[in-house]
Amino acid sequence: MKRIAIFASGTGSNAQKMLAHFQFSHKVKVGLIVSNKPQAGVLNFANEYSVPILLLERERFLKGDGYVSELQTAGIDWIILAGFLWKIPATLSKHWEKRIVNIHPALLPNYGGKGMYGQAVHRAVLAASEKETGITIHYVDEQYDHGATIFQATCPVLPSDTPESLANRVHELEHLHYPLVIEKEILAQSD
Ligand code: GAR
């Protein structure tokens, strides 16, 4: 059994899909929901699925020990980012090398980097009159939105789109693919 920690700062719709997907799995278990925001919506899903919560304090996470011991005690094999806003510190990327994955709501390397989060991404895609956008699932290194790509999927950008309508379309793509891509990647690396 591989145990994952989901890191999320926001509403947690991707985390919810992940929790539902792995609920009865004998191969992958969500062992921890990790957040930097005590009010984050994702924490309601953690409670709903009876998954323990780890709340992060900024200084300790970014400049201290990165909560390595808590993650190790929970037996975490993989770290899955789902709308997590802080940069992953070197101490974590060292301990979980090639075992940290992120999802980004655009086709990287475009529309990524610091500040490119949620609606800001979709506003930039619309401002550039792109005809297509999508999602990127990728390994995490010490730069924002940077590590090797695992998977991309695309969807159209319509002339009538607003940042909200585009966000909804991209979210659907994320929900469809993220749990399956994670499952496939974890099982492939476990062989
Ligand atoms: C998702 O769209 C995810 O791709 C994005 O945050 C959203 C979280 O939504 N992540 C980034 O922009 C990372 N740079 P959720 O809380 O509903 O899962």
| Amino acid in position 117 | Y
Look at the domain 2-190 and name its fold: Rossmann fold (3.40.50)
- Among 6, 36, 84, 174, name the best residue to mutate to test ligand 1's pocket (greatest count of ligand atoms within 8 A of Cβ): 174
Helix (H, G, I), strand (E, B) or coil at 139: strand
Q: What is the pLDDT of residues 5-55, one digit of tens each?
A: 999 998 999 999 999 999 999 999 999 999 999 999 999 999 999 999 999
Distance CA 8, CA 131 (A): 29
Expressed in angstroms and rounded, the spacing between residue 15 Cα and the centre of ligand 1 is: 10
Expressed in angstroms and rounded, the spacing between residue 34 Cα and the centre of ligand 1 is: 15
Helix (H, G, I), strand (E, B) or coil at 151: strand
**Pair 166, 172: CB distance under 8 Å:** no
**Pair 45, 19: CB distance under 8 Å:** yes
Q: Three-class SS string for 69-138?
A: HHHHHCCCCEEEECCCCCCCCHHHHHHCCCCEEEEECCCCCCCCCCCCCCHHHHHHHHHCCCCEEEEEEE
* Confidence (pTM): 0.96
**Pair 110, 131: CB distance under 8 Å:** no
Expressed in angstroms and rounded, the spacing between residue 81 Cα and the centre of ligand 1 is: 9
| pLDDT for res 125 | 97
User: Residue ranges of the domains in the chain?
Assistant: 2-190
Does any ligand 1 atom lie closer than 6 A to the CB of residue 8? yes
Expressed in angstroms and rounded, the spacing between residue 60 Cα and the centre of ligand 1 is: 23
Smallest CA separation from ligand 1 atom 12, residue: 117
Q: What is the pLDDT of residues 116-165, one digit of tens each?
A: 888 999 999 999 999 999 999 999 987 778 799 999 999 999 999 999 99
**Active site residues per annotation:** 104
Smallest CA separation from ligand 1 atom 3, residue: 83
